[in-house]
Structure 1
Amino acid sequence: MSDRDAKRAALPAWLARIPLLALIPLLVALTGCSHKEEPWRLTNVTGHLPDLDFSLTADNGKQVTGENFKGDAALVYFGYTHCPDVCPETMARLMQVMSKLGPDAQKVRILFITVDPARDTPQSLHDYVDAFDAQHTVGLTGSDAQIETLARHYRVAYQMEKRDPHGEYEVTHSSAVYVFDAEGHARLLATSNDSPDVIAADLRRIIDAPV
């Protein structure tokens, strides 16, 4: 048997009977049927950050872990209640995202993790998140060590600035929003440059993805 005959023999019987030139349109058609996943508009961090894993105190005073929030997608933001600008702006933007999701908003939780545990008690966090969206948002705090460890895991930078004459201070911190799927896997990163429409569109894909 020649090399050419051997190669044809290795093909399925129905395919071996079709002349090579006649296969070209078929191969083109099959290529067109292959699925190409639509790229994310947010930054894809899948596989680069840890799963949703923590043990903190919720704004209702109860101890919670990342496991408590599995089953829903989660938007995780590190901020603090005395933040004068970035935090309220980010929370307002997330409220727009939730509004755009419509009924799908019931499948999303917003986790507001403080980077100022000295001042952000469970009660102050409760009052803060309640002013935005008490139904979907949970404020979380912990010890300095717990917050530092968690921030390091997700590459969040923060630093307490110098106190003013009244003893008040600001905390400089990262402003990204982390998107986790219902299984607790870190999937996407949203920045201040990402509009509510973009965040909502990618978040809906996370929600609709088969588990």
Structure 2
Amino acid sequence: MPPLDFHLTDEDGKDVDAEDFQGKTTLLFFGYTHCPDVCPITLARLATAFRQVDDKAREDIQVLFVSVDPARDTPEIMKEYTNAFGPQFIGLTGSKSDIDAITNRYRVSYEYGEKDESGNYDVTHSSATFAFNREGDAQLLIRDDDPMKAVVSDLEALAEGS
């Protein structure tokens, strides 16, 4: 996996690059705020894992939640969404080309469904979480079916070894 690299907009509306997040263990997850299942379940699992790691490790970990639905996920919406999971969660969005650049970099696929009569649609997307050390080097992949004990152990090891 390539090192962490992107140019996006954070949930406060500021342009940010991967370098802005170096210095902490970083988890990278792609999704969207209107997601009915995968996103809230995955982010809630990560929040649960954070509550189980020791305080020192918890302070060293951040989750970057990158929207694959920039048409609906404004910085304000991203901030409201990530605040529900905890202070370690940071929403990122950007132009379609910015999103495509980072999803292509990590070979993440996503696809928009058909709009319903109200203009709503689903987005099919991957569910894995990429984990990077403090320097932005890829370390491992966390899948939604990994046992919680293993996720907690991986997070603590990443925070200690970063």
**TM-score tier (shorter):** over 0.9
What's 1:94 paired with?
46
- 3-state SS of paired residue (2:66): strand
Q: 1:19: which partner in 2?
A: none
What CA distance in whole angstroms lies between the structure 2 residues aligned with 1:116 and 1:195? 29
**Residue 195 (structure 1) shift:** 2.2
For the residue of structure 2 that corresponds to 1:112, the secondary structure is strand
Whether the 8 Å CA contact 2:24–2:134 is kept in 1: the answer is yes
Q: Give the gaps of 5 or more residues in structure 1.
A: 1-48
Count the aligned residue pairs. 161
More relative contact order in 1 or in 2 (CA 8 Å, sep 6+)? Answer: 2
Is 1:59 aligned to 2:11, yes or no?
yes
**Residue 158 (structure 1) aligned to one of 107, 110, 128:** 110
1:198 paired to 2:155: no
CA RMSD of superposed structures (Å)? 0.9
Secondary structure at 1:139 match in 2: strand
In structure 1, C-alpha distance between the alignment counterparts of 2:47 and 2:152, rounded to whole Å:
11
Calculate the TM-score normalised by the size of structure 1. 0.75
Equivalent AA in structure 2 for residue 108 of structure 1:
I
Between the two proteins, what is the percent identity of the paired residues? Answer: 43
Separation in 2, partners of 1:195, 1:113: 24
Deviations 1:19-69 (A, max 9, x none): xxxxxxxxxxxxxxxxxxxxxxxxxxxxxx111111110001111111111
The normalised TM-score by structure 2 is 0.97
* Higher share of residues assigned helix: 1
Q: Residue 53 of structure 2: SS of its match in structure 1?
A: helix
Moved over 6 A (4+): none
Residue 179 of structure 1 corresponds to 131
**Amino acid of the residue matched to residue 166 of structure 1?**
S
- If each structure's strand is expressed as a fraction of its own residues, which one has the higher value? 2
Structure of larger gyration radius: 1
Question: Counterpart of 1:115 in structure 2: which amino acid?
Answer: V
